[in-house]
Amino acid sequence: MKLSRFFYTTLRETPSEATMASHIFLMRGGYIKPLSTGIYSILPIGHRVMKKIENIIREEMNRIGGLELDLPIVQTAELWSESGRYNAIGEELLRFKDRNNHNMVLAMTHEEAVTDASRYVLSSYKQLPFMLYQFKTKYRDEARARGGLIRVREFLMKDAYSFHATQADLDVHYEEQYQAYLRIFRRVGIEPVVVQSDTGIMGGKLAHEFMLDTPNGEDYLILCKKCGYQANREIAKFNRYPYTNNAEAALEKVATPNKESIEEVSSFLQVPPEATAKCVFFDVEGKLVTVLVPGHLEVSEIKLRNILKTKELIPADETLIKSCGMEPGFASPIGAKNTRVLIDLALENANDLVVGANEKGFHFMHSNPKRDFSNYEVLDLAEASALCHCPNCDEMLTETRGIELGNIFKLGTKFSESMKATFLNPEGQSEPAVMGCYGIGVGRLMASVVENSHDDFGPIWPKSIAPFQVEIVSIGKEANVIEAADKLEKELTSLGFDVLLDDREERPGVKFKDADLWGIPVRIAIGKKGLDQGQVEWKLRSEKNFEMVDLDQITEKLRLFYN
């Protein structure tokens, strides 16, 4: 492919809206173009990378028995009502009416459609198990699109769905998917961190996320370096060690003028933050929910949403809090009324705590929840952090950030029961199929590869998904240089190599800068001086220096490199 015939552009300056390396280089290299907030056109060089990623995923899905199909993105509201998700999902699900005034949706995921297809075919246990997958555009009306392809509204996803007669059979296939995902990510140059995660809108009993460990990640991961425990911070478990000091001390009201935050109060009273209880308030359908966690930890909104079975947590306003007998900034359940009180496991057996006195400018010292609180529930509410102990081996946990590359879920019978995707078992009785679901965002994976593999000048693509295998750069306008470049491009192409020839009449510096942005593993520069010696420059994108190589050795050198 001659660059003069290619559809491309490159940018010299960093786009003002781009902060992550992947966003910067995918924009500067002409891989993507923004069309609207969170919506991108994938340009030819980006499309080439995407297709190579897609082919790797397809090979691994076929390897474990996947059957490819294609499901509609436009679906009826009735279908989503069958599963219960039409009303359960918020504004991220785009709803609209067609010309016949029927309620429709743009699918953000395809559980409903694939369950509908399975019930059309499935009748007997003899047809199970099977796994269906597709590559399909999704639309999710994200409120906070960011990071280029990392969080978008429209995206290409590989989504797979498996159907089984028993939970045990699903467990076997789940492990096959787990291993297939490891192979996929390793084939594109990423060693993923695998963490247990929340099932979220997908439902089900168990889920894992495959993450890229990176400082720019939007997810927080909790890891144990000793035993290997790994989980998303939102749902991570940890061992509690309740603060205890003097269980018999009487409750004492002390002045804490203008001290509202945990940091201010603990410093003023000279107690550690873990010796305090943090009070957080939520409005759930007009009723106040009061949540308490140790002062050095935060409330896990995911855990709380799952407990309250609500899709959105709304902070309570000052009026509602005061109507229940509490003072914002100086609050506790002591003496409160008309509120549901939830306390974290770590507070159940704690004592000698500092809590709010429900009076502006005052706190209580020596509080003992078992003695001083009433009508409360003890639950796992706090978010794990590097201040916590591993639930398995009790070592201190560590915290890092990550980008989600893909996820796998054990859905169970959530969709098959509500949508009646059933089969007759060997005894002739009807049972719902046991389901699993498995997703990878193709564009996000492309961006994650850039996050994982780049330098100051652009992406360093792994061989498996680079847009081209080799780039030939002609340096100079001499006829023999142009002729040698053309001849080499044709020869390598005829041998099956994916070749880009930069045949532009541009300065070498411009061509080399663009070559860095395109990240092609091998760059061969042909100039008059070297060609007079029968040699060309051979440079790997992953290395700083080049070497002079005899022109007649290039083919064999490429073969060895790509073996």
Half-sphere exposure of 129 (CA within 13 A, CB side): 22
pLDDT at 165: 98
Are residues 76 and 201 both part of a single domain? yes
Q: Is there a domain that residue 458 lies in?
A: no
Residue with tokens 């429900």: 358
Domain ends where: 381, 412, 437? 381
245 lies in a domain? Answer: no
Q: Is residue 242 part of a domain?
A: no
Indicate whether 99 and 145 sit together in one domain: yes
What CATH number does the domain containing 152 carry? 3.30.930.10
Is the same domain home to 39 and 186?
Answer: yes
For residue 309, what pLDDT is reported? 87
Q: Which residues of the chain fall below pLDDT 50?
A: 201-202
In CATH, what number is assigned to the domain containing residue 362?
A: 3.90.960.10
| Bond into 215 cis (ω within 30) | no
The whole domain housing 510 covers: 470-561
Q: How many domains does the chain have?
A: 3
For residues 45 and 190, membership in a common domain is answered with yes
Q: Which DSSP string do the residues of 187-207 spell out, in sequence order?
A: HTT---EEEE---GGG-SSEE
Asked if the structure places residue 369 within a domain, the reply is yes
Residue 143 within any structural domain of the chain: yes
* Claim to verify: residue 423 and residue 293 sit in the same structural domain: no
Distance (Å, rounded) from C-alpha 203 to C-alpha 536? 58
Q: Are residues 67 and 195 located together in one domain of the fold?
A: yes
Which pTM value belongs to this model?
0.89
292 and 184 together in one domain: no
341 and 442 housed in the same domain: no
Q: In what order do the strands lie in the sheet with 94-97?
A: 74-76, 103-106, 94-97
Cα distance between the two ends of the chain: 22
Q: Is residue 185 part of a domain?
A: yes
Using CA atoms, how far residue 430 sits from 122, 129, 167, 327, 340, in Å, is: 11, 16, 16, 57, 42
Same domain, 94 and 161: yes
Residue type, 405: L
Q: Among the three residues 391, 420, 451, which one is the final residue of a domain in this structure?
A: 451
Residue 27 and residue 157 in one domain:
yes
Query: 258 by DSSP, 3-state: which?
Result: coil
Let me know if residue 76 belongs to a domain: yes
CATH of the domain at 556: 3.40.50.800
Let me know whether 257 and 129 are in one domain.
no
Q: Is 221 domain-assigned?
A: no
Domain end: 333, 350, 381, which one?
381
Same domain? 372 vs 284 = yes
